[in-house]
A and B are shown apart, each in its own frame.
Chain A
């Protein structure tokens, strides 16, 4: 059936909404083949039509084929565009270094685009703020935090801890502290602190 391959491309993305599925080179190629063959058929038909060898009813066949071409093309573009969107989201969520599990799923062009995107973002960020400063990291605090500090419970004895603004805390088991959000994240991950 015409356009079935293109539909499969879209379905594949639809089935895996949270990840980037491996780049389906095979299906893409088959879509291209399909477009090519349809186009060739159209050219042939057009030549016959102009020569007057077939009746005017063939003109509508021509239009149908053209619509099929357009649709396949749109599906392919959608496929590429959505993958790009997902890739972009990874940049904001995980930072500039892609994990290898994701990397194997990308095609060469996508990897190139990703590096380009990272570079642009870095350039933009370093240009922000006053000249001489190191710019602003736009990827932290994607949702506006309710407060600058979070309340954390200390569940293991830890030594003295200094926050980025120079305040010193002594973290001991069974004590409650309010710490700047970004400073204590790694301690939470280590299991020394617990969010209240």
Chain B
């Protein structure tokens, strides 16, 4: 059941119950949404427990363990895409509230009026194209009873009236045909509905709008929403147009409001200030040297083909053309004088057309507080994403979640002198090593021809190595995959423009002998209805239905699955067959 009034139908109900269990997926958007929701709960003295969940199995176990104590469960960025009642089988008195940016929602969840409540904006519900209920669920009980009655009566009457019996049989045949027709129609509806998977508006933004509705929004919460939205953009989950329209239509208004507030209270230096401005699309350049940042930016790497020997030379030419000295580029960007900084940014912006560099600049949000360095929302999202997936402390995914949450809290702490951006800095340092690993792996894969064009799709097996510890989650594998696909298409002179890429990463530890398999859409995929829709998840599902490979479809994103190493040949053959029939 869809809920459109977040305040009255969701928040007020939980507020009355005074106790909620919040289950959070491990992604940046979910962390931000969780942070906002916890702030609201704290304001209203609602008691809560927060548990991170990494997959369906863990979700089921957690719900099972806690269903005795908690009757209100809030699911953030998880649980919407499969039938909750069937997969989890919770006790009858448990109510689920789903705040999920994964699409499409499972129809069982959509049509469950009692126990599953999905938060969705009105304008989005029409976009979803949910088939009407009577075409998915056959009004079975009346029909079957009728069926039974008619057959009974037919037996009774059979000796007396033959004509009547004929009519009965005709009726039954007609009914059967009707049923078959209906079944076929239902299949079509389901196929159309579930064909693609995509991501919708950020959950953090939804929660921020709820906070605004409750008159509890602050600049800090706005920053959470901004980071949530930007993380979707950085991960390539939403299209550029959608990102820009979200920023302009739904976020900029609030930014202006809070800036106005901050301006009227000039004496508070420590206040968090957020501004919306043009930014260079180079990763982490505010905290790195310009040269390293350019070396790790996909568009520059692909444009100059930095994996070749000529590439490095071209890079120096490029910089010379821009009029930047190597000395300036190779020192920390923050160490340049402010004129130089402005100059560099302006040169890059104006000269990008000459080098056919698209998207060197994008609209983004920048936060600054006190006298410390300012942070770009994209860098912030990257740092959190890496922190969530790369175990810096060598501990579990759950503790990574809480360290990301505390990073966010420390950065946003409004109490005087407790604001602490050190943890973010730390995350950014980890992010640098991660980006270095990505670039290294991409170069290896391109130079040693690891990408196998197997007919309908491209396939890469990542090789064992020390860098593998970075590639454990969706964010990291997807960044690698998108980078690699772009580089590979450039390297092969656009020959493989229309092929999706599948990356297989060998796992270690408890899942030794398994592969994490992620598929991404071809580069030339046109946006459908303004979404980055992907049919890969559906294709994986069909492969699993058709053949008996050992696969775990545990992840909330259907494009990411776990595959037993011995079955990989059979799996990819079957995937080939499926993708060929689709194409």
Contacts and interface: CB of A to CB of B under 8 A. Distances in A.
The answer to whether A and B interact is: yes
A179 B405 CA distance: 18
29 contacts: A148-B45, A149-B42, A151-B38, A151-B42, A160-B68, A167-B18, A167-B19, A167-B47, A168-B68, A170-B68, A170-B69, A172-B51, A173-B398, A174-B51, A174-B52, A174-B398, A174-B402, A175-B50, A176-B49, A177-B47, A177-B49, A177-B50, A178-B41, A178-B46, A178-B48, A178-B49, A179-B47, A196-B406, A196-B409
A108 B66 CA distance: 57
A147 interface: yes
B582 interface: no
Given A174-B396, A176-B49, A177-B49, A147 B42 contact: yes
Contacts of B494: none
B331 interface: no
A137 B49 CA distance: 29
B75 to A, nearest CB: 15
A170 B66 contact: yes
Contacts of A160: 68-69
Interface of B: 18-19, 38, 41-42, 45-52, 65-66, 68-69, 396, 398-399, 402, 405-406, 409
B42 A153 contact: no
A167 to B, nearest CB: 5
Contacts of B399: 174
Most buried by A among B41, B49, B65: B49
B42 A176 contact: no
Interface string A152-196: 010000001000000111101111111100000000000000001
Nearest to B46: A178
Contacts of B48: 177-178
Nearest to B67: A170
B335 to A, nearest CB: 35
Given A170-B66, A174-B396, A174-B402, 9 more contacts: A147-B42, A149-B45, A169-B69, A170-B49, A175-B49, A176-B51, A177-B49, A178-B48, A178-B49
Most buried by A among B18, B50, B52: B50
Contacts, number: 53
A148 B44 CA distance: 10
A94 to B, nearest CB: 29
B51 A175 contact: yes
A119 B406 CA distance: 46
A46 to B, nearest CB: 65
B398 A178 contact: no
Nearest to A150: B42
B22 to A, nearest CB: 9
Nearest to B399: A174
A161 to B, nearest CB: 9
A50 B49 CA distance: 88
Nearest to B24: A176
Contacts of B47: 149, 167, 177-179
A169 B19 CA distance: 10
A108 B466 CA distance: 72
Nearest to B50: A176
Nearest to B65: A170
Nearest to A146: B415
Contacts of A174: 51-52, 396, 398-399, 402
A31 B398 CA distance: 67
A153 B402 contact: yes
Contact of A169 (B41, B49, B396): B49
Contacts of A168: 68-69
Contacts of B396: 174
B51 to A, nearest CB: 5
Interface string A74-114: 00000000000000000000000000000000000000000
Contacts of A175: 49-51
A151 B45 CA distance: 12
Contacts of B18: 167
Nearest to A153: B402
A39 to B, nearest CB: 58
Nearest to A177: B49
